[in-house]
Each structure stands twice: as structure tokens, then as C-alpha cells.
Structure 1
């Protein structure tokens, strides 16, 4: 349940998703997560570091091996969510 609590916090999944593309500085990560406040981003990064999912290598933030493993488990949700979004959109449009 602790993992689901962490993943359910605002911007946690977005940060993991962005870092799956490679190392990012704080500023780059903030730009990729367009509407995240610096305070929330800082807090999430601290939490993810404490949970051994994210680290900082002096150049930027990156997923640890555990973080990469978690992303590999979450990655299929990306394709599924696109399919789900299309289904919901079509259902709404058909109802009009």
C-alpha cells in the first residue's frame, strides 16, 4: 500500500515518466512537467530519493535501477491509457 500511496501523489508518476527518458536537471524536469510548482517538484524528488527510486548524479536526476524496474512495470499503462482515452472520447461523441 505504501507504493500506491507514493504513486498516487501529485506529479510522482509524471516525474518517473519524464526521468525514464534520461537524466534531467531540476529546471529541465520542471519544464517537462509544465504546471508543477518548484515546491511540489522538490518534495516529490526528495520522497522518490528516500524511496530509492530516483537519485542525483551531480549532473541531474535519474531513475535508479529500482526506478527503472518500476517504470518497466508501469510502461504498459501508457498504451492502455491511450486506448481507454479513445474509447471514452468515442463514447462521448456517439452520445451527442
Structure 2
């Protein structure tokens, strides 16, 4: 699967609108889980592997490379960490995560 680049066709969009490129990247296995975990501070490869439980080392390595290429994470002496853009994405997604919890409860009650 090619790296999702704004302006080029991505999953769900032939025009490659920037939002669709972002959704393509974030929709990949464990991408948002990695961002969520790193929102609380840097983590090593091993810590991320433990957090993601069922992720293979190959998939984790691929996701980390993609998120670094997208400049959402970076390698630091303490491990992997969110960049300013990565923190901004997390802050934008966090309210959506809260909304999803109430939505799930609403569906459960229906």
C-alpha cells in the first residue's frame, strides 16, 4: 500500500484531498493506537509493541515509518514521540473519541 500523499489518489479518493490522505493514513492498522499511546509521552518500540498487543514487529515498524514520514511522530532519545503536528492531530481527534463513547452508549441503549 502506497504512502497516502495529498494531491494523489488515496483509498477513498481519486483526487487525493488532504483530509482523505489523512484518513487513509490514520485508518491503517494501529496508526491511531500508536498516536493515542504516544499522547501520554514517548515510548520505545517494545513499549508500543506491548501496548498494541497483537501487532507484529513488521507492522509496527511499517506504521512507525509512515507516521514519521507524515511528520506526526519522531524518534527521540526517550523513544518515539509525537511531533507538534502529531499532538495537534491527537487534540483534534480526542473530542471525536469522546463523542464515539456516547454514540456507542446510545447504540447500546437502542
TM-score, structure 1 normalization: 0.89
1:66 and 2:99 matched = no
Q: Which runs of 5+ in 2 are unaligned?
A: 1-19
The 1-side partners of 2:66 and 2:80 are apart by 13
Correspondence list, 1:1-96, <5 A: 1-91=20-110
- The structural deviation recorded for 1:55 is 0.3
Q: Deviations over 1:7-40 (max 9, x none)?
A: 1111111111110011000111111111111111
Gaps of 5+ in 1: 92-96
**TM-score, length-scaled by structure 2:** 0.79
Q: Which protein has greater RCO, CA pairs closer than 8 Å, 6+ apart?
A: 1
Q: Which SS does the other structure have where 1:75 is aligned?
A: helix
Structure 1 residue 58 displacement after superposition: 2.3
Distance 2:107 2:65 in 1: 35
How many pairs are equivalent?
91
